[in-house]
Amino acid sequence: MRFLRRDLDEPDSRILPQMLIETLSMLEEDCLILAPGEVPIFITPGAESLGILKDAKIQSSELLATIRVVRRTHNQQVGKIEIPRGPIGEGKHELTFKVMPLTKDDLVLVLISDESEAQRVHDVRRDFVANISHELKTPIGALSLLSEAVLGSKDDPESVVKFATRMQSEAKRLTDLVQEIINLSRVQDSDPLQLAQEVSVEYIIREAIDQCQISADNRNIAVTYSESTDARVLGDRDQLIMAVHNLIENAINYSPENTKVSITASVDVGIIDISVTDQGIGISESEQDRIFERFYRVDPARSRQTGGTGLGLSIVKHVAAKHGGEVKVWSIENIGSTFSLRLPIYEPSTESSK
């Protein structure tokens, strides 16, 4: 594990013993060491990425109060805090911390673990398995019935072709479903801000459009993006492309042929808004709160025709939350819908840890 050492410029600067650094490197928890005045002199990369510090200052008033109690009492303290993953959205880091005196009246060690995340992943997996078992039954059952039909029609070539064609369709549906399950599992299990990279929004949009071009051409749908932006975001490049791809693919699937899907990118007070607008069937107001649920489909019959899995928008929601952002929807039935993926813009000059 690589550590960032912060040695202070003030007179009480110190270099931490190598033995201490090696010991901390063997711990599973992230940590920081604070000098008097709650000034960090040692920070693990994971602790920085959690957003506990900003401009070298602790952001949680509860954690700050606990540290001061430890300084005053010289006794170890434990607690839990929630740290927003970004300036918008509902995504949060739910953290357990332990604060202990490292040296008398001087250095304090803070250990941070994300035990609640592990529990959340366990709960998600449990519910997910129940949903998957139900969803997989349909295409698997269809393949079983169709294979029996093929065997029973072996002397009728036309029927064999008919049933075999339907088997291909169901097999593709099953393949798409399994791939979406894998994608969602990866998004739910990973934390893109732990090993984040700087990504161009322009690249994300262009790449997502390219991935959807065949689907659009097959239905004579024009996908337009005439703007450009120099905004950049911090996170997992592949997850971000997948999120925008899912929004565009969803717009294509729920739009009539010979219509248009428009993509725009706009900046508002440190937030990039990537919007995808279609001329499709729209979504009723009563369903707009449910469309981001796993396996929920606005039009099940249309989903069967297009091969929709009901997981695409759920993946978008998870990607947005994990990147400190959010996804919003505006829609009117029989008019169309606009989905907006909103993410914090990455500005290196304001990142104290960079």
DSSP per-residue string spanning 109-178: EEEEE-HHHHHHHHHHHHHHHHHHHHHHHHHHHHHHHHHHHHHHTTT-HHHHHHHHHHHHHHHHHHHHHH
Task: Tell if the pTM clears 0.75, that is, is over it.
Answer: no
Q: Please answer whether residues 108 and 101 qualify as being in contact, where contact means their C-beta atoms are separated by less than 8 angstroms.
A: yes
- Walking along the chain (354 residues) 10 residues at a time, the average pLDDT comes out as 42 63 76 87 78 81 89 88 80 84 83 69 61 64 79 81 79 72 68 81 94 90 89 91 92 90 91 93 82 66 51 87 91 90 81 41
DSSP assignments along 262-283, one per residue: EEEEEEETTEEEEEEE--S---
69 plus 171 within the same structural domain: no
354 plus 324 within the same structural domain: yes
Q: Please answer whether residues 327 and 339 qualify as being in contact, where contact means their C-beta atoms are separated by less than 8 angstroms.
A: yes
334 plus 319 within the same structural domain: yes
Chain segment 31-48, per-residue pLDDT in tens: 888 888 888 888 887 777
CATH number at residue 217: 3.30.565.10
204 plus 109 within the same structural domain: no
Domain boundary among 113, 135, 155: 113
Chain segment 308-319, per-residue pLDDT in tens: 556 788 889 989
For 39, the enclosing helix (H) or strand (E) is strand 39-43
236 plus 206 within the same structural domain: yes
Residue 107 to residue 229: CA distance in whole angstroms: 45
Rg of the chain on CA atoms, in Å: 25
pLDDT for position 116 = 55
pLDDT for position 222 = 93
85 plus 120 within the same structural domain: no
72 plus 171 within the same structural domain: no
Domain boundary among 133, 158, 189: 189
CATH number at residue 19: 3.30.450.20
Domain boundary among 83, 113, 143: 113
pLDDT for position 221 = 93
27 plus 126 within the same structural domain: no
220 plus 309 within the same structural domain: yes
Q: Please answer whether residues 164 and 171 qualify as being in contact, where contact means their C-beta atoms are separated by less than 8 angstroms.
A: no
**β-strands 260-268, 222-224 pairing:** parallel
DSSP three-state, residue 3: coil
Residue 330 identity (one-letter amino acid): W
Alpha-carbon torsion, ordered 267, 271, 274, 275, to 10 deg: -80
Domain that holds residue 331: 193-354
pLDDT for position 42 = 85
213 plus 289 within the same structural domain: yes
302 plus 331 within the same structural domain: yes
pLDDT for position 1 = 39
Q: Indicate the number of domains in the chain.
A: 3
90 plus 31 within the same structural domain: yes
